[in-house]
Structure 1
Amino acid sequence: MKMADVLPKMSKLYLSRIVESFLKDVRLKTEEEMREVILKNIEEFQNSQRIVRNLNFLESDRDISLVNEMILMSLMEQEGYVLAEDELFNYVENLEKQILEESQDSAFIKTSIPEDALRIYSAVLTAAWKKDDSLNSHEINMLNVLRQELGLSNRDHYLMECLVGRFPQKGNKLHSIRQIEKSLKDLQTRGLILRFKDGEAYYIIPNEIASTIRYELGSELRNETYLSLLNDLSVTQLKSILLPIGLNVSGTKNTLIERIIKHNILPTKALNFLNNSELKDVLRSLDGAKISGTKEEKIRNIVDYYENLTSTGESDPTDSRSRLYDFYEDLANRNYKPLRINKIIDKDLDIERYFEQATQYLFEKKLGIELVDMSGSKHADGKLQLTQKDTILWDNKSVEKPYNFPDSHFDQFLGYIRSEHTRVTLFLIITAEYTSEAISKAQKLKAFSEEDTDVAIINAADLKFVAESWREFSAMKDPQFNLQVFNLTGELNRSSLNSRMEWAIK
């Protein structure tokens, strides 16, 4: 979810924490003033230097610092980077338990951490903890430098802290709910997570800052997404990732992938074992991905591509249809790869039904229009009431090639228009790309309707543009959407939509 979607669901206390995290000496009295000032200063909020600075927990209490990282890691693993409050507590606890369990598996430690690195780092870590029950910022900084020199991850550090009895706390004691609550407050005052309420309390990393946090924490890809990347590599390439680390390279492709995931080999580290030619081949297989650049840039391009395939920036955890809306254009274009990677569809036949549900969400939640129920099964995909006497119908048509408005659809739509008891003032066809022939057919359908029904064609990307931007065309505090924006015959493109919103939404 983006800031603009989260802010209306935040109360004054939690809004004030975000304002104070990046705007100093600003006194605001009302929730609305706080929301406005945050959005006006959104560039400062998402400034990467601010985020990196606030991710520096060196001067924080040891428990707050560690739990901060556990919370962020838990959120980064979720779709949309959001969790209900109770779920978040469970995730943090389970993550600490998982690291403890891994540390007790000597075979796992042996294959995860190089022998020399384990010996050197453990000796320094043990010495650092010997003097008292805490580490000062200087000691933490020295350990960070040593870890980077030895090629160790934060996860490796936690595993070795388990071995010396210092993770999560002294005696390997788990953190309490109260300690997690303290860290949640700390992360809010740093402007790294937001708390909002919609029936129950949720915590979220907003879409605007998620990418920066992801790279700074080393949480490069969610496991689900990483699995998709690894599945797209060859068996030979998977073996080339495992072999230099000394891991077993026998077994099926699924076994090799499971081994890479189990041993927490980060995507950038895994891809670094491929040569430049192999990285280029991977990028060529990714539609629209940039191929040129240094080896490091190629690796980053691959990681970003897969992360973007599964980005759910505006997903609303309170409405399951919002998950479909997040992939609205992919549903319209029958873009199977991201739909399958994100488990939006189980089978191809799901696409039309989910495209329809996503459109319902768009009209109802994004435009604030009440949907009209329709009886039976032979009707358009949706119905809206324009006036007491006039209605609007819409129908979704997802396509792999530009929509050309076949004769079968012409007859189908004409039947929908004529079977309505009230006058259909507009029939809206929502698709992906469309041909000039389709625009001509729309004009023909208007003539055949015998009710002077306007017939408009719009692609899903432009309809979503309207849903996301229409409020900007009004100076009113609480504007209402005007369906006249869509009421014409022919093509509704970005230019005509901008023009119509300028006069229709006041």
Structure 2
Amino acid sequence: MYLQDILPKMSKLYLGRIVDSFLKDVRMDTEEEMREVIIRNVDEFQNKERVKRNLNFNTEIRDITLLNEMILLSLMEQQGYLLSESDLINEVEKLESEIVEQSTDDDYIKTAICNDAERIYSAVLIEAWKKDDSLNTHEINILNVLRKELDLSKRDHYLLESRIGRFPQKNNKLHTTKQIEKSLRNLQSRGLILRFKEDTSYYIIPKEIARIVRYEMGGELRNEVYETLLNDLNVNQLKVILTSLNINISGKKSDMIERIIKHNILPSTALNAFGTKDLSDILKNLEGAKVSGTKGERVQNIIDYYENISTPISTDPTDSRSRLYDFYEELASRDYKALRVNKIIDKDLNVEKYFEEATRYLFEKKLGLELVDMKGSKHADGKLKYSSKEVILWDNKSTEKPYTFPESHFDQFIGYIRSDETRVTTFLVVVQDYTKEAVAQAQKLKAFSEQDTDVALIKASDLKYVAEEWKSYSDQKNPKFNLQVFNLTGELSRNLLMSRMAWAI
């Protein structure tokens, strides 16, 4: 979820924590002021250097530092980087328990960590922990350098720390719920996670910063996506990975994949087992992926390709169009790579058609509106009954860049408006984004329509927000959507839509 989708669900206390995390000496009285100032300063919020700076926990006490990492690792493994408060606490406890349990398994440690690396790192680790119950900044920095030199992951560090009785706490004692909640507040104050409430309380890493957090934390792919990558490899390739790490290569393909996941082998480590030519061959089978570059760059190209994979639960398994609706914004922006990876399209030409079908689904199923049939082929993409004597027409325009509203579309739309047998009260243009020139064209079209037709531009992301949230603006048990929400000329921004829903529904 993006910031603009999360902020309306957040209360003043939690909004204040975000504001304080990246804007100093700014005071606001209302929730709406806070939301507006956050959106206006979104570039600063998602600034890579800000995020990296706030991911440095070395000045915090040991428990906060470790739990901050456990919380972020737990969220990064989830679809959408989202968990309810209770599930997140359970996942953190589960992750800590899993590391402690694995640290006691000598066979696991033997295959997970090189013997020399374990011996050297453990000796330094024991010495660092000797004097008291914490590590100072100097000791942490030395361990970080040594870990990188020995090619050990942060999880390897935790495993070895657990073997000397220092993870998660002294004598391998797990953290309490109260300690986890304290870290949750710390991460909010750093602007790394957000808390919002629907039916229950949720924590999320916003989409604007999720990828930065993942890479800085040493994460590469969620297990679900990593399994997809491994499944796309053949048995011989999986054997190459396992052999390079001295891990058993016997069993079925599924057994090999399970073994790689179980040993927490990073995708980059697995792919480094291949030569440059082998990596090129893998990339050639990934449509749209860049094939050239150094070995390291080719490994990263493969990881980046699979990073685009997401497999959300279908919005409505009973309607095939719901799968298109799930990728509504990608259809609007012609994100061919994401659409192909997720098997939404097999031909680029399908994008416009599927964008239209997804919009019909949105109006019909999400807003509960009745679509009006249109005769012939020269007409707008869709029609809605506004009143007994008026209708609303809409047209989809998917573009990779912001929509400019060219003259050819102006002529096309004015033809649709004037030829309709019923007065068109509003003509809605659904796009991924639009320019200032497009807004001026919308105003011009209203003047030339000869019917005083309102012409509105709306982003697909904002229309989807309306589809998902409109019922929350009504206090009725069975609310009905009011098309007056769209009855305007110019740009229907997110804030304007929220304002109109507040009084229209």
TM-score normalized with structure 2 length? 0.72
After TM superposition, the structure 1 stretch with the greater mean CA deviation from structure 2, 113-122 or 236-245, is 236-245
| Pair 39,504 (structure 1): closer, same or farther in 2 beyond 3 Å | closer
- Tell me the CA shift for residue 390 of structure 1: 3.8
| Pair 25,452 (structure 1): closer, same or farther in 2 beyond 3 Å | closer
**RMSD of Structure 2 on Structure 1 (CA):** 4.3
Aligned to 2:369: 372
The answer (yes or no) to whether the contact 2:276–2:295 under 8 Å persists in 1 is: yes
Give, in whole Å, the separation in 1 of the partners of 2:17 and 2:247: 47
Cα deviations across residues 316-369 of structure 1 (Å, max 9, x unaligned)? Answer: xxxxx9986342377899999968976999xxxxxxxx989954674489xxx9
After TM superposition, the structure 1 stretch with the greater mean CA deviation from structure 2, 148-157 or 37-46, is 37-46
- Tell me the CA shift for residue 220 of structure 1: 0.6
Question: How do 1:5-404 residues align onto structure 2 when only pairs under 5 Å count?
Answer: 5-310=5-310, 325-328=325-328, 359=359, 362-363=362-363, 370-372=367-369, 384-391=384-391
Give, in whole Å, the separation in 1 of the partners of 2:287 and 2:185: 41
| Pair 245,450 (structure 1): closer, same or farther in 2 beyond 3 Å | closer
Equivalent residue letter for 2:153? S
- Tell me the CA shift for residue 427 of structure 1: 7.9
- Tell me the CA shift for residue 139 of structure 1: 1.1
Equivalent residue letter for 2:72? L
- Tell me the CA shift for residue 391 of structure 1: 4.7
- Tell me the CA shift for residue 45 of structure 1: 1.0
Give, in whole Å, the separation in 1 of the partners of 2:331 and 2:397: 11
- Tell me the CA shift for residue 207 of structure 1: 0.6
Cα deviations across residues 87-115 of structure 1 (Å, max 9, x unaligned)? Answer: 11111111111112211222111110111
The answer (yes or no) to whether the contact 2:85–2:203 under 8 Å persists in 1 is: yes
Cα deviations across residues 275-311 of structure 1 (Å, max 9, x unaligned)? Answer: 1112222222222222222222221121111111228
Give, in whole Å, the separation in 2 of the partners of 1:183 and 1:361: 42
Equivalent residue letter for 1:24? K
Give, in whole Å, the separation in 2 of the partners of 1:427 and 1:163: 64
Cα deviations across residues 213-237 of structure 1 (Å, max 9, x unaligned)? Answer: 1011111100010011111122222
The answer (yes or no) to whether the contact 1:241–1:271 under 8 Å persists in 2 is: yes
- Tell me the CA shift for residue 252 of structure 1: 2.2
- Tell me the CA shift for residue 58 of structure 1: 0.8
After TM superposition, the structure 1 stretch with the greater mean CA deviation from structure 2, 248-257 or 13-22, is 248-257
- Deviating above 6 A after TM superposition, structure 1's stretches of 4 or more consecutive aligned residues are 329-345, 354-357, 427-433
Q: Would you say how many aligned residue pairs link Structure 1 and Structure 2?
A: 420
The answer (yes or no) to whether the contact 2:74–2:95 under 8 Å persists in 1 is: yes
The answer (yes or no) to whether the contact 2:121–2:146 under 8 Å persists in 1 is: yes
The answer (yes or no) to whether the contact 2:100–2:159 under 8 Å persists in 1 is: yes
Point out which structure has higher relative CO (alpha carbons under 8 A, 6+ apart): 1
Cα deviations across residues 12-47 of structure 1 (Å, max 9, x unaligned)? Answer: 111111111111122222212211221111111111
Give the secondary-structure state (helix, strand or coil) at the position aligned to 1:195.
strand
The answer (yes or no) to whether the contact 2:333–2:432 under 8 Å persists in 1 is: no
Equivalent residue letter for 1:103? S
The answer (yes or no) to whether the contact 2:389–2:423 under 8 Å persists in 1 is: no
After TM superposition, the structure 1 stretch with the greater mean CA deviation from structure 2, 29-38 or 156-165, is 29-38
Give, in whole Å, the separation in 2 of the partners of 1:429 and 1:465: 10
Aligned to 1:399: none
TM-score normalized with structure 1 length? 0.71
Give, in whole Å, the separation in 2 of the partners of 1:450 and 1:39: 39
Give, in whole Å, the separation in 2 of the partners of 1:242 and 1:142: 31
Give, in whole Å, the separation in 2 of the partners of 1:446 and 1:382: 11
Give the secondary-structure state (helix, strand or coil) at the position aligned to 1:309.
coil
| Pair 83,219 (structure 1): closer, same or farther in 2 beyond 3 Å | same
Q: Which consecutive residues of structure 1, in runs of 5 or more, have no partner in the other structure?
A: 316-320, 346-353, 375-380, 393-425, 434-438, 475-481, 487-499
- Tell me the CA shift for residue 85 of structure 1: 1.0
